[in-house]
Structure 1
């Protein structure tokens, strides 16, 4: 493996050419932070292409087998995803709905080439990095149409959503749970789509810190996720659940008012704090005693489509804990389940009418240094070009005093960018 660093005259153009070059491979992971900077992530653009080895879940002992795969391929990047339905391996749970997307519960690969692209420089690793630079620079940028052909449908119509909402709120009133995330699927069958053009449009409409174009074979994940599920840096674990959403304003004044209203909204605040408590509890399983703490609570983060309330919880990892154990102990992301977690997941499968699959799972990478960073798979389009199935979910939290009309509208708000992409023909 050879590493080569090069200076970039125009990193934006090089990045777009590199993405277009990468899309021709069967295995691709393109991650773009879109200029969002925090104290926890330091990647601007990461590209992994080609596969020298891969791991796919067979439905048994996925986390243990994934750890073995990582251990067998040290000192390299290993990008991939973990689907929500891995919950069935972790707890005594099941998923009763069919897997229409045809995606496995987990997939990771060891890339042939990796690129780290910054504002002025790129670092390329692979057998012949100089040849790769020449290939990328010779790539002609194409502005191809989305070519979306298909009819988008609701898996759960408005009436069904309100019925499920009422049933789940009844469980809250009975004391079975105190918060639950109800999600609905939008889908299309016998679809054709240009995935790269769709991703570019999505990233233009909704640039987020965990934007991702992921491809393996004919299966595509096009993500505009704003949420970090879990990261490991050295001996520190960090999770940043999102709970609390508000639209962007049409003017600067309206925007500030919407932010102020979100920051003071008792319902949104209580949702967030409940999930903070859940995540703290999840992290305790991996943490040195007494090290779990909420370092930042209820911070407002603004994105192109929405304002969000985000909290940050950290801990120090106890000795002897493997990387995949720390993920398993916190999986699936608490912001997408509810509390108590297991009870909420049982009710989710009972009242939702679609399989979540990759949605509500995690997408990211293990790094050569033994660290990792995973986003929550939300605001994400899934497309299987083999069977022509396209899908995305949106959801929101139900609490004791939640209003079904407001929550339904919030689901549509969260899906706004995805609706825009598919209608931009």
Structure 2
């Protein structure tokens, strides 16, 4: 008979919504524990002896087709076991695999439904007992047509009218304890068919187990060698400390009241490192290239390599920061000192399980490039206060000298850096080949129609050459956009600003667009999954598809927040590794890949001619106080400091700037419109070089 505390096995097909489904199950089935394995972790022969230790199996969604063994793995064999039958609930790919196992036809939808909400009609019984209105999110390009008189019974359906007609949305086996839904009950926008259906599944599964006297064996901890520990948020998030450790390090701080002082002024006084960092010859720079087995440590002209010794770069940085925590920085500012820098798009491949394409990967810039900042100046633009800080013991002289310089600067007339002479010739912008880019859009859409991805964020690189170099500081002002983390905007679905495009017009165009809302929803569900993986069940969407105004576009922006489990003290612990762990599990950024993330990243490597490097990575900081803030690097340009950037070896005056841009390709994308969207994103960047349009 069934155990008092349900023990579930969830089979993950490398999906990016898995932890959303896990959390929905935990909320819907009281006191359950859930173990997760990949669909290719065990053969059916290897899994069969362990099924008697579980109360039920959840077959999660995933990319691909149930007719492809590599996509479905062990799942295809679960439905036809001659013995040891166990209750199973399938989602999306799970339903399709159940259908194929019992004679259903697998077909492509005429009109793909990715991130779209449909009204689901149902029979009011079985999985839908007590359920009324169901508005459910769909992520599928394939569907099943049940065979007449077969062993599967339809429980719910969608009427897609002229798009696809009648589409099966839920089924059950007529004699075996198998149930499945085509839509995604775990999506943030599913209403009525989520927790209610999971609770009904467990009621049906529990009753079936009681009726058939199916035993569930007592758990043996040695089984964790095969299945790991039951799901919980990151171990880092589950550490409870009654008294946080207090490090001996301290922050020396002086505060000035200088309302008129600007970040540009600080930049001009202290060089290119601007507001945050004031570096010394002895400041530590940490670099790493993906694929190398070492970290490079640079101080001034000295450089050493330290072997990773079975660790990856993420673990090395975590170890480095473990004893760097401090507790006495000023609470009104987010940064007291610590690591500042860049992480590349490709640095996220390892934790995601994606192999690097060595043919396109270059070493033009480190994949990890961080400075450990011990001296810093932070300006509070709201209050006008300036915070001068140092982590170096007995560094009072530097603090007082810096305070004097800044105080004098506030009362003196500072001549701004002169702009360079007018550009002697029009900068040359080389866009990606339009026909090639559009062909890649069509390739991406074919992969989407085949079920391999819901959305693919295709990008390409543009190049700008100009022949009258200017100081980087001169470019700073025109490049800055009035948004948080000025070189980026982590949002989706832009609409070009133009005369007559008011907020009302923009909201009608964006919120009323099935494509734009679907694009945003897919990434919201993906980010929820990433947050659940680290902080646990408490992840909330605080804003969904709000329209926000930026310098050149209107955009749909959603806000997702996660909170640690009650009683966890890591958030206020200076030695906390939680932010770093979350960053590791979030890269590459879902807003720049598509979903499911792993398969989408693999596909994008075949559609893009070069690695992305800094573009689509993140920049930000990890403070010694335990906090961190990272933002996706987009709408930016990069000048790499190597000779390969020159147009010719004998023309040292030529500067080359690389600019990445692209857009999220969905089943509803129009190739020409996607090309135009990429140009909109390029416009604000190339404008800093005096190029009025692209």
The TM-score by the shorter chain falls in which range?
0.7 to 0.9
1:327 equivalent in structure 2: 583
- Conservation of the 8 A alpha-carbon contact between 2:289 and 2:363: no
Match for 2:285 among 15, 36, 54? 54
Match for 1:361 among 608, 611, 617? 617
Pair 49,122 (structure 1): closer, same or farther in 2 beyond 3 Å: same
Match for 2:542 among 259, 275, 295? 295
2:661 equivalent in structure 1: 394
- Conservation of the 8 A alpha-carbon contact between 1:147 and 1:193: no
Match for 1:226 among 482, 485, 489? 489
Q: Which has the larger radius of gyration?
A: 2
Aligned equivalents of 1:249 and 1:188: distance in 2? 25
Match for 1:133 among 403, 406, 414? 403
- Conservation of the 8 A alpha-carbon contact between 2:494 and 2:555: yes
Aligned pairs for 1:8-19 within 5 A: 8-12=258-262, 15-19=263-267
More strand by share: 1
Q: Calculate the aligned-residue CA RMSD, in Å.
A: 2.4
Q: Are 2:497 and 1:248 equivalent residues in the alignment? A: yes
2:437 equivalent in structure 1: 161
Aligned equivalents of 1:300 and 1:121: distance in 2? 32
Match for 1:350 among 606, 614, 620? 606
Pair 103,301 (structure 1): closer, same or farther in 2 beyond 3 Å: same
Deviating more after overlay: 123-132 vs 304-313: 123-132
Q: In the TM superposition, what is the alpha-carbon distance from 1:143 to its structure 2 partner?
A: 3.0
Residue by residue over 1:114-167, the C-alpha shift from the partner in whole angstroms, topping out at 9 and shown as x without a partner, is 11112321011133123223445276421322877863322x310000100001
Match for 1:94 among 347, 356, 368? 356
- Conservation of the 8 A alpha-carbon contact between 2:338 and 2:374: no
| Structure 1: gaps of 5 or more residues | 31-45, 212-223, 228-241
Q: In the TM superposition, what is the alpha-carbon distance from 1:424 to its structure 2 partner?
A: 5.3
TM-score normalised by the chain length of structure 2: 0.51
1:404 equivalent in structure 2: 671
Aligned equivalents of 1:180 and 1:152: distance in 2? 26
- Conservation of the 8 A alpha-carbon contact between 1:55 and 1:109: yes
TM-score normalised by the chain length of structure 1: 0.81
Q: In the TM superposition, what is the alpha-carbon distance from 1:369 to its structure 2 partner?
A: 2.0
1:117 equivalent in structure 2: 379
Aligned pairs for 1:18-57 within 5 A: 18-24=266-272, 28=273, 30=274, 46-51=275-280, 52-57=283-288
1:4 equivalent in structure 2: 254
Q: Are 2:442 and 1:172 equivalent residues in the alignment? A: no
- Conservation of the 8 A alpha-carbon contact between 1:6 and 1:122: yes
Match for 1:381 among 637, 645, 656? 637
Pair 140,72 (structure 1): closer, same or farther in 2 beyond 3 Å: farther
Pair 9,335 (structure 1): closer, same or farther in 2 beyond 3 Å: closer
- Conservation of the 8 A alpha-carbon contact between 1:147 and 1:194: no
- Conservation of the 8 A alpha-carbon contact between 1:225 and 1:378: yes
Match for 2:324 among 63, 70, 73? 73
Residue aligned with 2:492, SS: strand
Aligned equivalents of 1:397 and 1:424: distance in 2? 25
Residue by residue over 1:30-60, the C-alpha shift from the partner in whole angstroms, topping out at 9 and shown as x without a partner, is 4xxxxxxxxxxxxxxx521215222212435
1:152 equivalent in structure 2: 429
Pair 94,193 (structure 1): closer, same or farther in 2 beyond 3 Å: farther
- Conservation of the 8 A alpha-carbon contact between 2:257 and 2:386: yes
Aligned equivalents of 1:130 and 1:334: distance in 2? 44
- Conservation of the 8 A alpha-carbon contact between 1:3 and 1:125: yes
- Conservation of the 8 A alpha-carbon contact between 2:589 and 2:632: yes
1:182 equivalent in structure 2: 458
Aligned equivalents of 2:361 and 2:354: distance in 1? 19
Pair 97,393 (structure 1): closer, same or farther in 2 beyond 3 Å: farther
Q: In the TM superposition, what is the alpha-carbon distance from 1:210 to its structure 2 partner?
A: 0.5
Aligned equivalents of 1:95 and 1:198: distance in 2? 33
Higher normalized contact order (CA 8 Å, seq sep 6+, divided by chain length)? 1
Pair 417,101 (structure 1): closer, same or farther in 2 beyond 3 Å: farther
Aligned equivalents of 2:421 and 2:614: distance in 1? 23
Q: Are 2:366 and 1:104 equivalent residues in the alignment? A: yes
Residue by residue over 1:299-326, the C-alpha shift from the partner in whole angstroms, topping out at 9 and shown as x without a partner, is 1111111111111112224668643222
1:37 equivalent in structure 2: none
Q: In the TM superposition, what is the alpha-carbon distance from 1:364 to its structure 2 partner?
A: 0.6
Aligned equivalents of 1:334 and 1:340: distance in 2? 9
Aligned length: 373
Match for 1:416 among 683, 688, 691? 683
Deviating more after overlay: 271-280 vs 194-203: 194-203
Aligned equivalents of 2:428 and 2:625: distance in 1? 45
Q: Are 2:482 and 1:207 equivalent residues in the alignment? A: yes
- Conservation of the 8 A alpha-carbon contact between 1:87 and 1:93: no
Deviating more after overlay: 94-103 vs 15-24: 94-103
Aligned equivalents of 1:299 and 1:337: distance in 2? 21
